[in-house]
Amino acid sequence: MLGKNLTIIGGSGGMGRVFARYFKKHGFKIILYARNEEKLEQTASELNVKYNLSLKESVKDADIIMITVPITSTVDIIKEVVPLLKPNSLIFDITSLKHDIIKVYEGIKNEYPINCLSLHPMFGPGIKDMRNYVMLVLRVGGTLNYNEIVKNLLDLFKSDGLVINETTPEFHDKKIAMTLGVPHMFNILFLNLLRRLNEPLNELTNYTGTTFLLQKVFAESIIQREMEMFGDIQMQNKEFYKLLDEFEDLLKDYKKIIQNKDKKGFFDIFTKGLNYSKEDNHFKESYKYFYEFMKILKK
Ligand SMILES: NC(=O)c1ccc[n+]([C@@H]2O[C@H](COP(=O)([O-])OP(=O)(O)OC[C@H]3O[C@@H](n4cnc5c(N)ncnc54)[C@H](OP(=O)(O)O)[C@@H]3O)[C@@H](O)[C@H]2O)c1
């Protein structure tokens, strides 16, 4: 059985709020912990849950401890909190990179009688309904009750329509470099390329129909999100460095094709991209989706 006392470390942050609301709705007794009292008190009163400014006090009765602090603080906070936990409790983080975290849990699970799990929700604090969103799951291990405790938690998520995908740290960080690092990078670069050309975006919008408008809005929505986390997702992930080398080579090849007016080369790279995307489930309807988005923007 899953105990009902749940402490959220980083409870005043964007994701802490999302999960505090979620678990409260499911009858858990929530305590929030973070460092800044004003923000913590405000969040706790908004959500009508308790808070505690002492890490030790906040987790002393906790059956479940959720860690939702920035990527680079996660390892340290796990190490700090684990000696304070009661036997058989479940600790899980939701941080966006897994290589270092899983290594730390591997050591902990042999030293302390607790259960360790690592999750990565594939959504941000703006979410209203978790249905059909993906939760990545990395099992670590722990006490004899491990499988039952983890099953209870995952069953809860599944009952709300979350899609559970189990993975390993290597796979996770490699894929995240592609699915988060790449689109973040392209959109940061898109806006900075135009900025360097000194053209106000409003001015450029007068010279556009569809593609630019959609791309611009997408980039603008990304650039207003969590700067520190987006930076860490790229800087702290060795897999992303490999991908940058690949990108550099690709850009060099592309520059040559364009400068040499190499029509065959252009046809070749275009067709390769086309054939690659043909396999994708969204491919067939993508032009239709594109105009659905445009309808909103042209209102
Ligand atoms: N945002 C997303 O879209 C998203 C999606 C999936 C996963 N995640 C992961 O979720 C985690 C949190 O992200 P977020 O966007 O919710 O961050 P956030 O809004 O910046 O919130 C961070 C929280 O952690 C607290 N905190 C920061 N440093 C701390 C420390 N050293 N010790 C204790 N508490 C600390 C902050 O409050 P104080 O500064 O007052 O302590 C705050 O409550 C990250 O690991 C991120 O990778 C985020």
Q: What is the pLDDT of residues 122-143, one digit of tens each?
A: 999 999 999 999 999 999 999 9
What is the maximum alpha-carbon separation in the chain? 69
Residue 261 Ramachandran class (φ > 0 left, ψ -120 to 50 alpha, else beta): left
> What atom in ligand 1 is closest to the CA of residue 232?
47
69 lines ligand 1 (CB under 6 A): yes
Query: How would you classify the pairing of strands 134-141 and 115-121?
Result: antiparallel
Token duo for residue 299: 């209102």
233 lines ligand 1 (CB under 6 A): no
Say how many Å lie between the CA of residue 78 and the centre of ligand 1: 13
pLDDT at position 221 is: 93
- Report the share of the chain in percent with pLDDT over 70: 100
What confidence tens digit (pLDDT) does each residue in 24-69 have? 999 999 999 999 999 999 999 999 999 999 999 999 999 999 999 9
Mutate to test the pocket of ligand 1, among 8, 9, 15 (most ligand atoms within 8 A of CB): 15
35 lines ligand 1 (CB under 6 A): yes
Say how many Å lie between the CA of residue 149 and the centre of ligand 1: 25
pLDDT at residue 299 tops 90: no
pLDDT at position 209 is: 82
100 lines ligand 1 (CB under 6 A): no
Q: Whose CA is nearest to atom 19 of ligand 1?
A: 13
Q: Whose CA is nearest to atom 46 of ligand 1?
A: 95
What confidence tens digit (pLDDT) does each residue in 175-230 have? 999 999 999 999 999 999 999 999 999 999 999 888 999 999 999 999 999 999 99
Torsion of CA 287, 289, 294, 296, to 10 degrees: 170
Say how many Å lie between the CA of residue 34 and the centre of ligand 1: 9
Given pLDDT bands bounded at 50, 70 and 90, which one contains residue 297?
Answer: confident
138 lines ligand 1 (CB under 6 A): no
pLDDT at position 208 is: 87
> What atom in ligand 1 is closest to the CA of residue 43?
43
pTM over 0.85: yes
pLDDT at position 205 is: 92
231 lines ligand 1 (CB under 6 A): no
Distance CA 275, CA 58 (A): 54
Q: Whose CA is nearest to atom 36 of ligand 1?
A: 10
Q: Whose CA is nearest to atom 25 of ligand 1?
A: 10
pLDDT at residue 164 tops 90: yes
pLDDT at residue 254 tops 90: yes
pLDDT at residue 298 tops 90: no
Distance CA 188, CA 222 (A): 8
Q: Residues 245-269, buried b or exposed e (16+ Cβ, 10 A)? A: eeeeeeeeeeeebeeeeeeeeeeee
H or E segment and range at residue 140:
strand 134-141
237 lines ligand 1 (CB under 6 A): no
Say how many Å lie between the CA of residue 20 and the centre of ligand 1: 13
What confidence tens digit (pLDDT) does each residue in 86-123 have? 999 999 999 999 999 999 999 999 999 999 999 999 99
Distance CA 156, CA 145 (A): 17
pLDDT at position 1 is: 79
DSSP 11: T
